[in-house]
Amino acid sequence: MATNQDTLNSVIEKANTWLTDVYDEETREEVQRMLDQEDKTELIDSFYRDLEFGTGGLRGIMGAGCNRMNIYTVGAATQGLSNYLKKEFAHLDEIKVAIGHDCRNNSRLFSEKSAGIFAANGIKVYLFEDLRPTPELSFVIREYGCQSGIILTASHNPKEYNGYKAYWEDGSQIVGPHDVNIIEEVKKINAEDIQFEGNKELIEIIGEEVDQKFLEMVKTVSIAPEIVQKHKDLKIVFTPIHGTGVKLIPDAIKAFGFENVINVPEQDVVSGDFPTVVSPNPEETAAMDMAMKKGAEVDADVVMASDPDSDRLGVACKNDKGEFVIINGNQTALVFIYYIITRMKESNSLKGNEFIVKTIVSTEKIAEIAQKNGIEYFDVFTGFKYIAEVIRDYEGIKKYIGGGEESFGFMPADFVRDKDAVSSCALMAEIVAWAKDQGKSLYELLQDIYLEYGYSKEKMKYIVRQGKTGADEIQQMMVNFRNDPPKTLGGSKLAVVKDYADLTERNLLTGEENKINQKITSNVLQFFTEDGTKISVRPSGTEPKIKFYFEVVGELNSREEFDQVEKTAENKIDSIMDELDL
């Protein structure tokens, strides 16, 4: 087993290779500074491993070193992707890619360096002139007939991070077999293999003309323009939390016909330092706090936020006490699906070939709404690339009308093939107008959905276990759950176990065993009890975490009972956590 000294020696040896002329002067100086420091913690963190290009691309802290986001780790990813594209599309006269980036520090630098590398490999590049939302990058890949695309973003991670996401020709993040094949190409790349300087004539700067095409498509998401017209003065507070939504999301909401979008000036400042928040994540109350205060100040009908790359949205509305509260990602997806299906039924626009998609850890209420309305639904693994894969499988055969997951992401139309806060914010404003037209707030609309389809409460908890011992502990937890699942949960007998590692569904009450319909396996376990409780367990693919997703159901007979039913459900989830020693 390697000692700490062995690790340090290995790190120093690797760091010294970064002092050669292959690397620029700034990088060499930064590496030398870390080598000269008495405390070698920073040096070890920067060089103890290579930042891996995984199935979701790259994500890491920025800085010099092989375990950091910098022009060389980004360059290796782009060179590897270029090599793969040239093999995969060798039959084309011209291979084309699109590049976008968010507000993060170095995002522009990384995107320009990537453009140069693609061009050096003879690949045509469409590079956005400035920061743009991730969904617009997905859109432009399809609109311009590109074979691939990348966006430089670390989503809602803290300011020290940046990332690199790769897309395929359908505008979706890359799935198998291409994901694994690209990883293999990237692994082959050394710094001296990266061709940084390309033919600048192959790089075309794009901007406002694409924005207009994108916004025209966003307008097609509207289902009830006449309702919008009646309530065009709806008070909508929106914050981009310093990110890419600053221009296009207000423009999208206005394109629907709303005229009263109220901003949060301090958070309209585009900055990779995210000066007003600790974490730019709309799932967290602290990130939404300034917008909710503005909402209270102006008596807004709804408060919305997007994360830095505008793929996730956060929504807050007034509860029955007049306080602004965030509705969670499951509830957001539930409201979207309910509205889309209800409005399409009312307008007789359902043709019978429509479908929706949800992820397996998201609320089962979405599936129930679909089933009760005769709409086909698909369950997929976590990640919108799997939602996009279903759309691709049924292209031209079935019609996608919506899909989402519990982590504050929704995709209301298939001209984008990833989470889309631009279209979603505009559509959510329309839903609030629709509710208002019926004399309801968004909060009351959510309660009425529960009254019609039954109540559910969801909660997620994760446990962090660092290092190899932590990874072993997480692995052992999964083994224990598989070998010895709980007999009861929350006072209800365990009825069904789904194990996505071997795609087996076992009914413990009847002994029946079925195969789960998924293309690939995943290390996820699900437990369903007789009373409708659902618990999903999965180790994170990118962090030293194991995640537990809880959903319990209840009976709601009136809006007045909502608080009590919610409290009972929360207590039930807490007691199940205690049973599982969480």
The catalytic residue positions are 155
Residue 428 has what DSSP assignment? H
Which residue from 254, 245, 59 is spatially nearest to 135, judged by alpha carbons?
Answer: 245
**DSSP output for 179-235:** HHHHHHHHHT--GGG------GGGEEEE-HHHHHHHHHHHHTT-S-HHHHHHTTT--
Q: How far apart are CA 53 and CA 15, in angstroms?
A: 20
Measured at the CA of 368, the angle between CA 519 and CA 572, to 5 degrees, comes to 100
Per-residue tokens: 33: 């500074």
* Cis peptide upstream of residue 225 (ω within 30 degrees of 0): no
Q: How far apart are CA 500 and CA 504, in angstroms?
A: 7
Per-residue tokens: 267: 């958070």
CB burial readout 218-242, b (16+ within 10 A) else e: beebbbbeebbeebeebbbbbbbbb
Residue 175 contacts residue 389 (beta carbons within 8 Å)? yes
H/E segment holding residue 167:
strand 161-168
Residue 295 contacts residue 303 (beta carbons within 8 Å)? yes
CB burial readout 66-90, b (16+ within 10 A) else e: bbbbbbbbbbbbbbbbbbbbeebbe
Q: How far apart are CA 354 and CA 426, in angstroms?
A: 22
Residues sharing a CB contact under 8 Å with residue 206, sequence separation 6 or more, in sequence order: 98, 126, 127, 128, 129, 140
Measured at the CA of 521, the angle between CA 519 and CA 524, to 5 degrees, comes to 130
Query: Which residues share a beta bridge with 548?
Result: 461, 537
H/E segment holding residue 12:
helix 4-17
SS3 117: helix
Phi and psi dihedrals of 511, rounded to 5?
80, 0
